[in-house]
Homo-oligomer: A and B are copies of this chain.
């Protein structure tokens, strides 16, 4: 029996990663994550209209007292981080600022990602029209002539294409789209052979086998999963009937852009679906537990609008709102802007609070600060289990937590100068990492899709993806600043580390490039990646897949609102592909990180944690 499965690379647990990175405290990330998760998260509510601008404003505003009681003293964690940066005094003072105002968060507004049945066709036809000359097929001669012009162009395109088209499943060289995703010949065949059969493939490992040129044949289960995860559509595999018909004769040409049998896919369904932002048809694959990044799904779910390829499609209000909220929260919680002093360090609070009781918690928060969105409902709808109208997040009343972000900031700014980064005590580096991760978790908790998950699943996602998230996020934050400095840091003599940093930089650069240095884009990518339904241990994979799908669609909509159809059609897949690389990258990083001393890590961490 040739059951060739793949060689499985052990995936590091978050614990391991953390311990690697920071060696000590972080090692209990799981625990901390857990504890973090159990802590209430402040609900952020954004009024729609007020949205962006408002948010922006609030962003720079010092959170200061906000919240109620948090006049509390600076929290320890923060202090630590601060200390890192500014060795001396200034920092301390900053530290004293109350971290209180955490945030907001919306609940469910969902932009609807258009996916209508027509999309695919749309996509294709658009594509066709764009690239290939629709010249009549009848007169070849004419065509020749006419084509002449476009010929070269086309050729070039094609060339360009083929040369840098890589299989979304295994990374091998790809020819073009197959079943909805850019894949190589082998994955195409593989998918056709297996997607439909119901034989339950079983992964002999952890269901997270890496799939690449070498390993693809190791684990059919994961390979297939990956296929679905990139949204390959098994529905596109011609069934017997279709085949028969096909062979016999091709009648009404109208129907069949897709090889599907006429009656097959009822694209009309999609419409309604899209309304729901989660069309069953498209969702299916995700339910299977795949991760949402799919060009394929993308292609399929292309925009329903039959807009001209160059017209931008404005975001729906809902989408816009969601995006701004997310970004706002992200900026508030995670980003430590070097300049703006208004720091938001939602780090955990030692507060004794509680939990699951959302509504109430929400109330606790000063209405003025709460940010909520009308669109929430729809989202909630998606998750009927949830009580609509309110965020299902734990509310964080915050505790005395202070953000040392300030310090960080200070130091960073001050550090900006030529002055070589002051030596930081290893322990501090650790603290910084810990602190940052906490913030990141807080941010993630602000996402309803995340907070609605069971604690278990939340932990699973974090364990599995925190590092990747950090990596991606670092791109989202300091698009350009990292590279040089980080790399040049005279501190690291450690070869491995240097390589890592270089690789990191390379990745960041690549991602930023593909994302055109758009922070929103990178942030969305980060989220899409966060919600990887294949993470080990997940239970509600479906929910995760849904979340991923949601952000995926959001990203598409966002892109489409900013770039032309043409641009998006190349940009989106590239993003997905790039994003995919982070997986192996992260894994590798954590491995390499192993044994690196905290001190050596500092520069990289500064970068990853966006501390300057």
Q: Which residues from chain A sit less than 8 Å from chain B, CB to CB?
A: 2-8, 10, 12-13, 15-16, 19-20, 23-24, 27, 204-206, 209-210, 214-215, 217-219, 418, 484, 487-488, 490, 492-493, 495, 498-499, 502, 594-595, 597
Contact = CB atoms under 8 A, between A and B. Distances in A.
Residue from A8, A27, A487 with most neighbouring chain B CB atoms (10 Å): A487
A495 B10 CA distance: 21
Contacts of A498: 20, 23, 594-595
B495 A597 contact: yes
B495 A23 contact: yes
Contact of A490 (B13, B206, B209, B597): B13
Nearest to A495: B23
A159 to B, nearest CB: 25
B218 A4 contact: yes
A341 B206 CA distance: 26
Contacts of A8: 214-215
A272 B300 CA distance: 81
Contacts of A205: 7, 214
Q: How many monomers of this chain does the complex have? A: 2
Given A204-B214, A487-B594, 6 more contacts: A3-B217, A7-B205, A7-B210, A16-B490, A19-B490, A23-B495
A27 B490 contact: yes
A491 to B, nearest CB: 9
A493 B19 contact: yes
A19 B600 CA distance: 13
Contact of A217 (B4, B15, B209, B495): B4
6 contacts: A5-B215, A5-B597, A10-B484, A23-B495, A23-B498, A206-B418
A23 B218 CA distance: 33
- DSSP majority for the A interface? loop
Given A10-B484, A204-B214, A15 B490 contact: yes
Nearest to A214: B204
B24 A493 contact: yes
Contacts of A10: 484, 488
A219 B499 contact: no
5 tightest Cβ-Cβ pairs between the two chains A and B: A7-B218, A204-B214, A5-B597, A502-B595, A27-B493
Contacts of A484: 10
Contacts of A13: 490
B27 A499 contact: no
Contacts of A206: 418
B5 A214 contact: yes
Nearest to A600: B5
Contacts of A219: 7
A187 to B, nearest CB: 15
A214 to B, nearest CB: 4
A204 B5 CA distance: 15
A493 B4 CA distance: 11
A7 B493 contact: no
B5 A218 contact: yes
Contacts of A2: 217
Contacts of A210: 7
A595 B16 CA distance: 22
A486 to B, nearest CB: 11
Contact of A12 (B7, B218, B488): B488
A10 B8 CA distance: 32
B23 A502 contact: no
A210 to B, nearest CB: 8
Nearest to A211: B7
A10 B487 CA distance: 11
Given A487-B594, A502-B594, A218 B493 contact: no
A54 B8 CA distance: 41
A384 to B, nearest CB: 36
A499 B594 CA distance: 8
A488 B218 contact: no
A5 B595 CA distance: 9
Contacts of A218: 4-7, 215, 218
Given A8-B215, A214-B205, A595 B490 contact: no
A169 to B, nearest CB: 16
Contacts of A5: 214-215, 217-218, 597
A595 B27 contact: no
A6 B215 CA distance: 7
A364 to B, nearest CB: 37
Nearest to A498: B595
A215 B10 CA distance: 12
